[in-house]
Amino acid sequence: METNYSDNYVLVLEDRSQTQSANEAGKLSVVSGIDKDGKIKTVEPLDTNSAAFMKFKKNDSLLQNFFSNLAKQFKDPSHTGVYRLVADKVEDSVDVLKKMLENRDAPANKSALDAVRITADDFAPAQKATAIHPEQVDWKEMERIGLTKDKLEQSGNLEKVLNWQKSDLLPIAIPFGNDVIYTEARVALRHDADGKLGLAIHTLRKEPQLDYPYMGYRFSDDDKTTLRHNGNLGKMVELTPKNGEPFKAYISIDPQTNELVALKADRVNIPKEIKGVLLTPEQYKDLSEGKAVKVEGMLSRNGKPFDATLQVNAEKKGIEFIFDEKKSYKQRLEPEQKPETKHGVAGTICGLALSEKQQKALSDGKTLYLKNMTDKEGQSFNAYVRIDKEQNRPRFYRWNPDKKEGKVEAVAEENKTQVAVNNEGKSNEATKNVKEPLKSGQTRPDEKQQAKQENKEQLEQAPKRRGRRM
């Protein structure tokens, strides 16, 4: 039996559920596939069945799915061994494997079996190291507010908390005498004054408390307006804690809890080059002072240039990238809502959101005139659209494809005149000889279209030549 791995190999299962003794080899079979219900299919380990063998490659992602299904099908997975054998001469290899399994405790056999045995642990995702070891955490303290290690892990917050970060908003239960207060909060692990690791609870507030002094700093009306819109104060201020020394800091609002957050200025590193762009001295100075700075031509991870406004965010403990300053800080956190696919038609076509009525019309095979779609170059355009049922994709037309039937569906009121002129042949002196549809908002032909129109008119007005027919 070969123990080296080739590019292709098969998996041999040993089912020990029916064995009578520890020295007896279990039933051996070769994996042939996984059906739609996740049930593993096997065949006898004969070379005549080689066409049915499922062949894997080293580190094949299918193995993770395989081991998941294996655990579901066998009450005790320890009764089942899985061995990796090269795909060539499987029948001979299985015979050797069986002899080894019948004397699996022999040192030589044990070593050879370990070389070809694989387990689910071989394909389990690597555990990421965290700044705080789970054993350092007082989980009983966490349980007092209704949270456990498992709940944090299931919600995707365990790794955050073990790396000194705040969790997302979580439901908690705070004991209050004989009663319990149920609310939402973000939790974090912090050291207290004595250096002991403990739980910090950041409860949800109805709104930021801006009418009261914050560590000795009183917010002006402009400060309140700026914070409520941007989420960042936009400047560096001096704060004085009750039992501490004054320090320079940036202030932001936690968008999840509405809590004010301060970040010491000396803990923020402002780089002079960001995403491939060297900041000017003025940009660097403004950014260091907490102001919002527009930076153009930065490069994404994919090498694509982009523009954004940069600003120090105390809650994020670093520089924030803002892509739409008109939106408030809470609006920027909201995911973009895209219309759902209904009636088998996507909710958007070329960036244009469709109503359910329009989706149904397209699904019924009707033609719609849609305006303000966006092409690959970012240019706005209008066109007739209908769904190609065979390819399940929209088709675009300059002219109404249903013109012979006299149909024009879903034409916007402001475009009806333009559509009638350009696509139905109705009279309009400004555009009667222009073949191309006008762009959105265009009421007269452009220079190129005007030149074509004038040439057409000159040809029509020129006297026709008369001559003898040959």
pLDDT for res 401: 83
pLDDT for res 319: 94
DSSP string, 271-282: -SEETTEEPPHH
- 157 pLDDT band, cuts 50/70/90, is very high
Domain spans of the chain, in order of start: 9-123, 134-203, 215-334, 348-456
Q: Average of pLDDT values for 212-232? A: 95
List, for residues 280-314, the tens digit of each pLDDT value: 999 999 999 999 999 999 998 878 899 999 999 99
List, for residues 362-395, the tens digit of each pLDDT value: 988 899 999 888 876 667 788 999 888 777 788 8
Q: What percent of the chain has pLDDT over 90?
A: 35
pLDDT for res 250: 97
Please give the Cα distance from 358 to 269 (Å, whole number): 51
Q: What percent of the chain has pLDDT over 70?
A: 75
Q: Which position has the higher pLDDT, 335 or 342?
A: 342
pLDDT for res 440: 44
Range with lowest mean pLDDT among 52-66, 96-110, 264-278:
52-66
List, for residues 435-469, the tens digit of each pLDDT value: 454 444 454 555 555 555 555 555 454 444 444 44
Does the pLDDT value for residue 262 go beyond 80? yes
User: Whole-prediction pTM value?
Assistant: 0.50
Phi, psi of 286 (to 5 degrees): -65, -40
Q: Average of pLDDT values for 142-160? A: 92
Q: Which position has the higher pLDDT, 112 or 421?
A: 112
Q: Which two tokens stand for residue 162?
A: 């073990």
Q: Average of pLDDT values for 86-100? A: 88
Q: Are 313 and 301 in contact (CB under 8 A)?
A: no
Q: How many CA atoms lie within 13 A of 404 on its CB side?
A: 1
Please give the Cα distance from 366 to 356 (Å, whole number): 14
pLDDT for res 208: 94
Q: Average of pLDDT values for 46-64? A: 75
Q: Which position has the higher pLDDT, 107 or 438?
A: 107
List, for residues 407-430, the tens digit of each pLDDT value: 444 433 334 444 443 444 444 444
Q: Name the nearest CA neighbour of 372 among 445, 449, 439.
A: 439
pLDDT for res 343: 74
Average pLDDT, the chain: 79
Does the pLDDT value for residue 333 go beyond 70? yes
Q: Which residues contact 205 (CB under 8 A, 6 or more apart)?
A: 257, 258, 259
